[in-house]
Amino acid sequence: MAETFERVWQETWGTWRSDWPGLVRAALTAPFRRQTYLNIAYLLFSLPLGAVYVCVLVFGLVFGLATLPILIGFPVLLVVIAAAGWANNFEREQARIWLGVEIPPPIPTMRPASGLRDRVLTYLRDQVTWTNLLYLVLKFPTGALTFWLTFEAISTAVRLIVHPIVGMTNPAIGGNDADALLVPRLLFGGLFAFVAIHFLNLLALLSGRFARIMLGPSEAALRAVASEAEAARERQNAERAEQSRRELMVNVSHELRTPVASIRGHVESLLMAVDEAAEHGRESLPNDQLHSYLGIIHRETERLGALVDDLLALARSEAGELRLVVRPVDAADVVNEVHETLAPLAWRDRSVTLIAECEPGVPLVLADRDRLAQVLLNLVRNAITHTPAGGIVSITLQEERPAADGQRYVALSVADTGAGIPPDELDKIFERFYRVDASRNRASGGFGLGLSIVKDLVTAMNGTIGVESRVGEGSRFTVRLRVADQRAEARRSAKQDVGTAAR
């Protein structure tokens, strides 16, 4: 209880202290706010409601207990308990509607009761049952008190304002100097009404807090439930992580087997061929045979190297070690750099044309420059790989229309005229080791890790990535990045500079 009071005080006082102008504005506008009159209505209605609760409870309990020996009492007591439960729900609703106070319902027990007896016992053992009942019983005296205070405050205010006005027209009431005292009396009446309104608002605030304490679960119970839910979430995460670790092991071993088997096969063939050549007294193997074997071994070793790089990137991302330096970046610069690197290769190796279009004046985005280049390289390489000869891959950069919350984004897209991705595969391609056509892609060199790394990087830069595709027509991957608020960034780095200088 003391803890709750302390928290309420901290919350209220803490908010007020940090917002003085807001507090003064709220105080001055209180008489014109709808909430004030809802509060007054709540205070006035507390008395009749309290009277009804007390009548039902007292009459029900007395009648139920008196008739218990002739067995009618038992169902009567059950009805009274049900009515009390209903009244508590009703009170929670009233507090929400009139006072704007959210009261959480009682926490269901972890072990659900099976029979009627069990349920009644659980209900009776719950501490909240008794505080709820006590609240209903106390509603009558507290309601009477709030009704009386509200009634007195309103009637006095009305009297103080109306009396001088009536006195002016009828000197018998107002006295001889009614005219001269009209303005001070009216001012006093207004001041009293103003203070009364704040007093009633305070009374309503206290009533709301009282209802919250008596009708809702205790803070300790809520904390226990929250930590229970947190523990369950943690357990689930741990299980998921364990499952994904197991899957990763299986996938990695599977992926390693193919290149390792290929390298071993070719090295063994080479050794046999060398032995054979030696047997026949030849100096060495024919050049083309040697070149072909070594070429295959070289390609497979490169694939192994790429897999190890990807696995390292994944491990870093999973261990939360993706240390990005997110700052304002000129994405057009990155686009031009990637275009310059890959356009000649795309044409030479696959006869694919790579074009880049950047909207003029695109604002800077929040990103890590090197990682953004890695993301774009990955998307463009994929697009080139999956586009047949004569196709086109285009990179576009443009600012999007501002979102509803005012946040501005820049869209970086990579579109191709390639094979496309079937609709039911679209949401899976960002998963680890997922390949649309495993056999085709194994031959083309991918391990199905590229896009999942791209997604991790984009997410770490507070961006999003999406894909649209039509089979046979092509695909478009779009990365959305936040526009850098340059003034905020300048302030932030200035602060950092000052901090560094001070050190």
User: Using CB under 6 A as the criterion, which residues of the chain lie in contact with ligand ADP when the complex forms?
Assistant: 382-383, 386, 416, 418-419, 421, 429, 434-436, 441, 446-452, 475
Output the smallest distance, CB 306 to ligand ADP, in A.
8
Looking up tokens 């206290």, which residue turns up? 206
Cα–Cα dist 89/138, whole Å: 16
Output the smallest distance, CB 386 to ligand ADP, in A.
3
Q: Which is nearer to ligand ADP, 207 or 452 (CB)?
A: 452
Cα–Cα dist 302/263, whole Å: 11
Q: Which is nearer to ligand ADP, 410 or 453 (CB)?
A: 453
Output the smallest distance, CB 262 to ligand ADP, in A.
17
Cα–Cα dist 73/66, whole Å: 7
Output the smallest distance, CB 318 to ligand ADP, in A.
16
Q: Where are the beta strands (DSSP E) in 266-417?
A: 327-329, 353-358, 365-367, 392-399, 409-416
Output the smallest distance, CB 12 to ligand ADP, in A.
53
Three-state secondary structure string covering 4-64:
HHHHHHHHHHHHHHHCHHHHHHHHHHHHHCHHHHHHHHHHHHHHHHHHHHHHHHHHHHHHH
Cα–Cα dist 239/233, whole Å: 10
106 and 126 Cβ atoms separated by less than 8 Å = yes
352 and 393 Cβ atoms separated by less than 8 Å = yes
CA dihedral 370, 376, 382, 388 (to 10 degrees): -130
Q: Which is nearer to ligand ADP, 268 or 309 (CB)?
A: 309
C-beta nearest to ligand ADP: residue:
446
Q: Which is nearer to ligand ADP, 123 or 434 (CB)?
A: 434
Output the smallest distance, CB 299 to ligand ADP, in A.
15
Phi, psi of 363 (to 5 degrees): -70, 165
Output the smallest distance, CB 416 to ligand ADP, in A.
5
Q: Which is nearer to ligand ADP, 215 or 436 (CB)?
A: 436
Q: Tell me the torsion sign for CA atoms 168, 174, 178, 181.
A: negative
Q: Which is nearer to ligand ADP, 212 or 455 (CB)?
A: 455
Query: Is 310 exposed, middle or buried, given 0-12, 13-18 or 19+ CB atoms closer than 10 A?
Result: buried
Q: Which is nearer to ligand ADP, 384 or 410 (CB)?
A: 384
Output the smallest distance, CB 454 to ligand ADP, in A.
7
Looking up tokens 């009139």, which residue turns up? 98
451 and 365 Cβ atoms separated by less than 8 Å = no
Q: Tell me the torsion sign for CA atoms 339, 423, 407, 401.
A: positive
Q: Which is nearer to ligand ADP, 76 or 451 (CB)?
A: 451
Q: Which is nearer to ligand ADP, 207 or 382 (CB)?
A: 382
Q: Which is nearer to ligand ADP, 411 or 421 (CB)?
A: 421
Q: Which is nearer to ligand ADP, 263 or 419 (CB)?
A: 419
Output the smallest distance, CB 497 to ligand ADP, in A.
40
Output the smallest distance, CB 437 to ligand ADP, in A.
6
Cα–Cα dist 186/243, whole Å: 77
Cα–Cα dist 91/76, whole Å: 22
Q: Which is nearer to ligand ADP, 189 or 450 (CB)?
A: 450
Cα–Cα dist 170/258, whole Å: 108
Q: What 8-state DSSP symbol labels residue 239?
A: H
Cα–Cα dist 478/480, whole Å: 6
The two tokens of residue 299 are 């390609």
Q: Which is nearer to ligand ADP, 139 or 386 (CB)?
A: 386
Output the smallest distance, CB 289 to ligand ADP, in A.
31
The H or E element that residue 376 is part of is helix 369-385
355 beta partners: 394
54 and 140 Cβ atoms separated by less than 8 Å = yes
Output the smallest distance, CB 251 to ligand ADP, in A.
12
Output the smallest distance, CB 431 to ligand ADP, in A.
8
